[in-house]
Each structure stands twice: as C-alpha cells, then as structure tokens.
Chains A and B, each alone.
Chain A
Amino acid sequence: MNKESKTELRQHINRREFIKLGGSALAVFGSSVSCKSVSAAKQSRKLKPKNILLIITDQQHIDTIAAGGCRHVRTPALDRLKTRGVSFTESYSSNPVCSPARSSIFTGRASSETGVHVNNLPIRSDIPNLGQWFSQETKYETVYAGKWHIPRSFTNDIPGFKVINTGIGGLGYLCDTVTSRACEGYLRNRSQSRPFLMVASFLQPHDICEWLRLNTKDPGQLRYKELAGELPELPDNFQFDKNEPEMVKRTRQARDPANANWSKQQWQYYLWSYYRHIEFVDAEIGRVLQALEDFGYAKNTLVLLTADHGEGTGHHQMVRKNTLYDESAKVPLIFSWPGHVAENRTESFHLVSGLDIMPTLCDYAGIKPPKNMRGRSLRSILGAGIFSWGHTIITEVSSNRGRMLRTPRYKYITYKDDMVEQLFDMKDDPGETKNLATSSKYASTLAEHRRMLRDWESRLDVAPNVPNSDIWRRKG
C-alpha cells in the first residue's frame, strides 16, 4: 500500500471509530468544530419541524442545478432550495434503479434486504416503510402524491400513506403537473393544526427514456436548426476505458446511442433535451414550494429533495442508469428548514446515501428509527456543520450482482463472476477514467476495499427472494 493510501485509510478508520465513540470524540477533530456550533446543534436537536416535505425526482443527474454551477439550465425552484439549505455533492443512490433505490429511501435498508433487487417488486413485509413508521410512531398525517414503484409505479394503495394523486406511467409531462396541483390543493385546504409528512414524487426527468426511444435514429441534422449554437458540450469523460466489467459493456451496448452510432451532435441534442426535462420538473417543484410560502408552511417545514438515481448524460458514453459510475449512482440531496438547517452550504466532505433519509427523518421527528438502519441521521451535519464522520457508502446494482464501495478517496466496483474490478481515485480522477485495480501500487488499497465490502455484506439481512446472496462473502 502506498503512503497516501495508508493515510487515507487511517483517517477513514479513525472516523469509523469516532462514530462508535459518539459525541465525546469531538475533541479528536480539534479546530474543525467550534463550541458555538456544537451548542447550536444541540439546541436544534431539540426542535421538531412541524411538517416534512419529501420531494423525489426520477433520474436526475446530480449536476443539474443552476445554483450548483450547471450552466445549461434555468432552475429557480431548485436554486431556491439549494441556497436556503444544505446540499451534498457526495450523495449516492443505494441502487441506481427505480424500485430498488426507492425501497431504500423509504426503509433505510439495502435493496438486497428489502427484497427489491429489481424493478416492480414489493418491500418485504416485515420491514416498515416511512409512511407506516410515521403513522405508527408520530402524529404526522402521511400523504403521498406521484410515483411509487414498489411494486406498482403508480397506485392508489400505498401502505402507510393516504394517496392524493397517482400519476400516469411514462408521462411525467402530464403526471407531474397533476401531482404538483394535488400537493398545492392539499396545502391550501388542510387544517394547519395537524403536522404532515408529504411525499411529492415526480416522474421527470425520467421521460428522457421516452425521448431516447423517439430519437434513437440519428437524422444527421438538427430538427431545430436554431439550436446549433446552444447545444451543451460533451462531458470530459465522454471516452471510456475499454477494459470494463462485462456487465457495464453490455449495458452500454444495449442502449440507443451505441446501437445507432450517434454523432457528436446527436449526443449534444440529447443533453439539451435532458436539461429541458429538468426545467420542467423544476417548475412543478416550484408550484409546491410556492404553496408552502403562500399558505404559511415555509418556516416550519423541513424540505428534503432527492432522486432515485442519476442519468448517464454522455459520461462514459452512457445514457439512462443502472451502472455504478457517478453519473448514474450519484443523486441530488438537499435539506432546507429556515433557521434550523444551515443556509447555502455545499457539503462536500461527507459521503451520504439514500439509506440515510429514513434515519434522518426519524431523528427530526423525534422518534427512534426502525431496527437495522444501514444509514445514519444527517441531522448533526445539517444544523451546525459538525464534522462528524467519514462514512463509507455501498451501492448495489444489477439484481444483486454489482457492488460499489465508496471511501473518502476511492471508489471500488465489482461484479459477480467478473474478474475485472475497478478502483478509481476520486480525488485525482473524479471522472473515473483510470482504473487502478490492475496496478500493483494499489494492491493493498484494493484488498482493504474488498475487506470493507465483506464486512458490510456480513451485516446484511438479505431477503430470501434476492438472488446471488451467497456470492459476496466469497469475494476477495
């Protein structure tokens, strides 16, 4: 192991030890934590937001917010949330596929545990979802609007929630508008005396999947010539390492651009179109946020925005999701609550995941989370910015065949029955272009990451219906 890797790992292990020790270990970090911020966090810890609004988008790449630096979109609603809250840059989906990711968001458990290892499966019956848990443990009225997908994409029957709107499959364009109108109506008409937990689950920008099926063929010229000067540039990591795991190669080959041999211009037109989908959902989110403002809820509502998974957006010549590269695995994660969550802070140190949402919301509601949470409450980070842990993130994929382990410095990717492993230095190569797994220089780093993955696997309570559950303990 090289010296740098050793230092990274030591820091990482120290942070893990810190978590075990709890608050008393704060002194370890010396000047990183001021007394004032600790006291502010303690005060904040006592307060509960009267209401909670969880906004979920579908297939949103993390870098799609104008206030976060994306130059290709206009996103006033997302900007408003970002500038009034804490947004995470190292935020990962627990499984970059719709149903599995959602099962983790709503339970705080890995998708291999919830039994939702692929789309259209239900959460295993002995694990409560957020709505069920809040209905049982709190006085919050739990309401749901929009896409669910565990198992049915759109349904009037969601355990633990009163459904105020369902949606329409594969059509965010109309479904999201009706969803935001239902949320607006709910906020306007309800009695303010009872607290609410409302989920506004939008389908956009997922319609990019329909766009891809209607634009597979590259016509060789732009349908709208005036866009020629406006098309976004391709990402720096558009090219990719040819020695990838087979699963990744197959995923790329099965998709529209590879099949149709797209020109650079068609790729750019796809990007331009994706950003319009983002603006579309931004406006619908804006309607809900405006209703919070107009009807007196804004000051006492904790708003959380995330997505189930990202979108390829041409990085590594990928479209859609279902891979462990950052474009697919990373998701936006923003928390806002005026006066209680820090304002306009971009949080780049902590690695966080969809698994953290359930314990965080339970923490804010003043209740214990269900047992066996795989994530942690982010509340201490959100209030006063306490430097509390380094954390590792594990993301699953491909029907329990793929794993990604992210540590502060590295990302390790492995697939069942595939000799090709990937190790990326996320500090020096954030675009994931140079696989270090084959370099002897990184052999011990690789071994350590394999070991950490084994540790994680050994703690999981894998659902009986999930395939390939025995293989992970054999790895390494």
Chain B
Amino acid sequence: MAKKKKRTVVGSPLTPGLLRELGAIREFAFASEDFKPGGNWVNTYRIWTCHGYRESGNYNVGFVRIERAAGKSKEEFMLIVQQQVVQVDGILNVIDAQMICLNDQLASPIEWHLSSRFANPDGRAVSELGTEETVLIKGNVMSVKAGGRSFKRKVAGRPSCDWCLFEAVQRLRFDKKSSLAFDILEGLSLLKEGQHLSYRGVYPMKIGGKEARLHRFDQIGEGVLPYEYWLDDKHRLLAAISMHKAYILDERAEKIIRQRTEQVRKSYERIRSARRKKN
C-alpha cells in the first residue's frame, strides 16, 4: 500500500510573504510611474487558493479582469469585469459585468448589466443555465430586469460591490484615521451589510530579494472572511487576500487559467474513458 505523503500545515494567515513562500507568486507587478488610479487601466488578478498545506492542494482556479474607463464625466466612470472560475471536471463559469459607478469613495455601482454563463466539460455552452440582468439603482429602489420579468428591491444607502472595492481602494488615501462603513452587493447580487474598510499601515518587506513597501487596507463585515488589500506606493492593488483565497495581480492570469481549464478537462476525459472501459 502506498504511504500517504506527509503534509505540513501552513499554520498562519496568508500574507504577501507567505504567498511567495508557497509558490503563488515570484514577484509582484509593481505599478509603473504613470499609473493613475483614477484614470484608465486594466488589472487582471489570478485567483489562487490555499487548502492549508504547504506541499499540496494549492492552485489557480480562475481570474478576474477589471477594466476602468474614466470617460469625460467627473461624477461617474465605467468598470468592465470578467471573472472566470474553472471547476472540477472542467465546468467553467464566466461572469461579465459592465457597470456605471459613481466616482465616490466606494465606487458605488448605480447601473449595470450582468451575465453568467456556463460551459460544460467538453467546452460547449450550457444555455439553460445562463442568466442576464440589467439593474438600475435610483434612491432606495433597485429595479431589476431579468429573464423577461421586472422586480423592485429595496436598498439602503448606496451599496458598493466586491469588484468595485478593487478599484476604490486604489483611490483611497493612506490614512490610518479614516474608516469607511458600507454595505456591499457581492457579485452585484448578494447584499452583505455592515462592512468596514480601514487603512492598516505600511509594511516594509523583502520580495524576490528586493525591498518593497506594501500598504494594507482591511475589510471586515457580515458574510465575508476579512479581506486584506495590499497596494504599492503608487496605489496599485497588487493582491487581495481573503482567508485561503488570494487575488494576485498577474498579466498572464488569463493564459494560465485557459491552460488549467484544458488540463482539468483532459483529466476528466481520462476518468470517463477509464470508467467506460471498466463498464
């Protein structure tokens, strides 16, 4: 009988230093001189997960690409988001969102179009699982058009959104005294109340042999494990870590996930073939 490989428990919460130790990153993609948080940019984050062991079970499961289009208006801007998550046996979920956000501290979304699509292990789209919705927030009312129907839901104040916070933290001042209280619509749909976002300080660290200074914001609230947002001096968000999930800024993220999807699907095909032979 094959001996079980010994695994070492990580033991401590994930940090940028630990991400490097565990092989999740080689180095961070620090911002160039001309990076402007309030301008036009695209940040793509690889979604890496840790199952709590050093030796195994840690891998990339998806990416989220966030594009900011400033436009002419000073009051509003646009965020275009795509998130892909590849699951066991190669089922892929793709979320696309185009949203108009207020240029406020939390990038509050006020109007958006959201779609969710699935592809099965052989790569074909599963039309009966797709959803689309258009949403407009006016005052305390959220008007939703989905599946040929219209709904009205109440919202209190102006909720932010988890993807919007990736944009918003880049525009916030590094100020320990400020703390923001708000609600979020996670994935532009699930209301999670009582969120707080605070600047924690600057953390000098050595990454890839280089000295670096990373700034940290923490988000704590209902229905989420605390998020830690790590930014460089230019206010570019390099990583967001929530418990065992890390969003890591990485321009190769989409390619990596395409490769992983292929791998997972091939592995599933092998399982199916083996089963067919057995039967």
A271 to B: closest C-beta gap in Å: 14
Contact B62 A283 (CB under 8 A): no
In the complex, which residues of chain B have a beta carbon less than 8 angstroms from the beta carbon of A279? 192, 222-224
A182 to B: closest C-beta gap in Å: 5
A415 CB-CB contact with B under 8 Å: no
In the complex, which residues of chain A have a beta carbon less than 8 angstroms from the beta carbon of B50? 210, 214
In the complex, which residues of chain B have a beta carbon less than 8 angstroms from the beta carbon of A173? 225, 242-245
A156 CB-CB contact with B under 8 Å: yes
How many angstroms between the C-alpha atoms of A167 and B196 in the bound complex? 30
In the complex, which residues of chain A have a beta carbon less than 8 angstroms from the beta carbon of B11? 213-217
Find the A residue at minimum CB distance from B192: A283
A189 to B: closest C-beta gap in Å: 5
A417 CB-CB contact with B under 8 Å: no
With A171-B49, A207-B243 as given contacts, are A165 and B224 in contact (CB-CB < 8 Å)? no
A174 CB-CB contact with B under 8 Å: yes
In the complex, which residues of chain A have a beta carbon less than 8 angstroms from the beta carbon of B272? 157
Contact A287 B190 (CB under 8 A): yes
With A223-B13, A276-B224 as given contacts, are A210 and B243 in contact (CB-CB < 8 Å)? yes
Contacting A at CB under 8 A, from B105-144, are 116, 118, 120-121, 126-131
Q: How many residues on the B side are at the interface (Cβ–Cβ under 8 A)?
A: 61
How many angstroms between the C-alpha atoms of A70 and B146 in the bound complex? 34
How many angstroms between the C-alpha atoms of A57 and B151 in the bound complex? 28
A29 CB-CB contact with B under 8 Å: no
B91 CB-CB contact with A under 8 Å: yes
In the complex, which residues of chain A have a beta carbon less than 8 angstroms from the beta carbon of B4? none
Q: How many residues on the A side are at the interface (Cβ–Cβ under 8 A)?
A: 56
Contact B187 A155 (CB under 8 A): no
Our count of residue pairs bridging A and B at CB distance below 8 angstroms stands at: 174
Find the A residue at minimum CB distance from B9: A213
A244 to B: closest C-beta gap in Å: 25
The segment from B32-40, B71-79, B82-90, B249-257 that touches chain A is B82-90
Residue from A153, A156, A217, A276 within 8 A of B225 (CB atoms): A276
Contact A189 B13 (CB under 8 A): no
A113 CB-CB contact with B under 8 Å: no
Residue from B147, B190, B196, B275 within 8 A of A286 (CB atoms): B190
How many angstroms between the C-alpha atoms of A166 and B119 in the bound complex? 12
Contact B91 A166 (CB under 8 A): yes
Contact bitstring B181-217, A, C-beta under 8 A = 1, else 0: 0000011011111101010000000000000000000
In the complex, which residues of chain A have a beta carbon less than 8 angstroms from the beta carbon of B31? none
The segment from B51-59, B165-173, B231-239 that touches chain A is B51-59
Contact A168 B243 (CB under 8 A): no
Contacting B at CB under 8 A, from A284-325, are 284, 286-287, 294-295
A220 to B: closest C-beta gap in Å: 12
In the complex, which residues of chain A have a beta carbon less than 8 angstroms from the beta carbon of B245? 171, 173-174
B268 CB-CB contact with A under 8 Å: yes
Contact B116 A181 (CB under 8 A): yes
How many angstroms between the C-alpha atoms of A167 and B49 in the bound complex? 14
In the complex, which residues of chain B have a beta carbon less than 8 angstroms from the beta carbon of A186? 128-129
A175 CB-CB contact with B under 8 Å: yes
How many angstroms between the C-alpha atoms of A227 and B220 in the bound complex? 9
In the complex, which residues of chain B have a beta carbon less than 8 angstroms from the beta carbon of A169? 51, 57, 88
A396 CB-CB contact with B under 8 Å: no
Contact A174 B61 (CB under 8 A): yes
A167 to B: closest C-beta gap in Å: 6
Contact A168 B61 (CB under 8 A): yes
Contact bitstring A145-178, B, C-beta under 8 A = 1, else 0: 0000000111111000000111111110111011
In the complex, which residues of chain B have a beta carbon less than 8 angstroms from the beta carbon of A256? 9
Contact B242 A215 (CB under 8 A): no
Find the B residue at minimum CB distance from A223: B13
How many angstroms between the C-alpha atoms of A209 and B51 in the bound complex? 9
Q: Choose among B91, B129, B272 the residue with the greatest number of A CB atoms under 10 Å from its CB.
A: B129
How many angstroms between the C-alpha atoms of A258 and B109 in the bound complex? 46
How many angstroms between the C-alpha atoms of A279 and B198 in the bound complex? 22
A48 to B: closest C-beta gap in Å: 24
How many angstroms between the C-alpha atoms of A157 and B89 in the bound complex? 9
How many angstroms between the C-alpha atoms of A33 and B186 in the bound complex? 47
Residue from A188, A214, A276 within 8 A of B244 (CB atoms): A214
How many angstroms between the C-alpha atoms of A154 and B134 in the bound complex? 32
With A165-B91, A178-B93 as given contacts, are A214 and B57 in contact (CB-CB < 8 Å)? no
Find the A residue at minimum CB distance from B61: A168
Contact B225 A295 (CB under 8 A): no
Find the A residue at minimum CB distance from B90: A156
A252 to B: closest C-beta gap in Å: 17
Q: Choose among A173, A184, A214, A217 the residue with the greatest number of B CB atoms under 10 Å from its CB.
A: A214
A190 CB-CB contact with B under 8 Å: yes
How many angstroms between the C-alpha atoms of A24 and B113 in the bound complex? 60
Contact B225 A277 (CB under 8 A): yes
Contact A224 B220 (CB under 8 A): yes
Contact bitstring B144-172, A, C-beta under 8 A = 1, else 0: 00110101000000000000000000000
Contact bitstring A201-217, B, C-beta under 8 A = 1, else 0: 00000010111111111
A430 CB-CB contact with B under 8 Å: no
A443 to B: closest C-beta gap in Å: 43
How many angstroms between the C-alpha atoms of A209 and B61 in the bound complex? 19
B47 CB-CB contact with A under 8 Å: yes
A226 CB-CB contact with B under 8 Å: yes
How many angstroms between the C-alpha atoms of A284 and B190 in the bound complex? 8
Find the B residue at minimum CB distance from A215: B13
Contact A185 B146 (CB under 8 A): no
A219 CB-CB contact with B under 8 Å: yes
Q: Choose among B10, B90, B223, B275 the residue with the greatest number of A CB atoms under 10 Å from its CB.
A: B223
25 pairs, CB–CB < 8 Å, chain A vs chain B? A156-B268, A157-B272, A164-B118, A168-B49, A168-B61, A171-B61, A173-B245, A174-B49, A181-B131, A209-B52, A210-B243, A211-B244, A213-B9, A213-B53, A214-B12, A214-B243, A216-B11, A273-B243, A276-B223, A279-B192, A283-B186, A283-B191, A283-B223, A284-B190, A287-B190
Known contacts A170-B244, A173-B245, A273-B225; 9 further A-B pairs (Cβ under 8 A): A166-B89, A168-B49, A169-B57, A171-B244, A174-B85, A185-B116, A287-B189, A294-B149, A295-B149
Q: Which 6 A-B pairs have the closest CB atoms?
A: A213-B52, A185-B129, A154-B88, A279-B223, A156-B89, A283-B190
Could you list which residues of chain B lie within 8 angstroms of chain A, going by C-beta atoms?
9-14, 47, 49-53, 57, 61-62, 85, 87-91, 93, 95, 116, 118, 120-121, 126-131, 146-147, 149, 151, 186-187, 189-194, 196, 198, 218, 220, 222-226, 242-245, 268, 272, 275
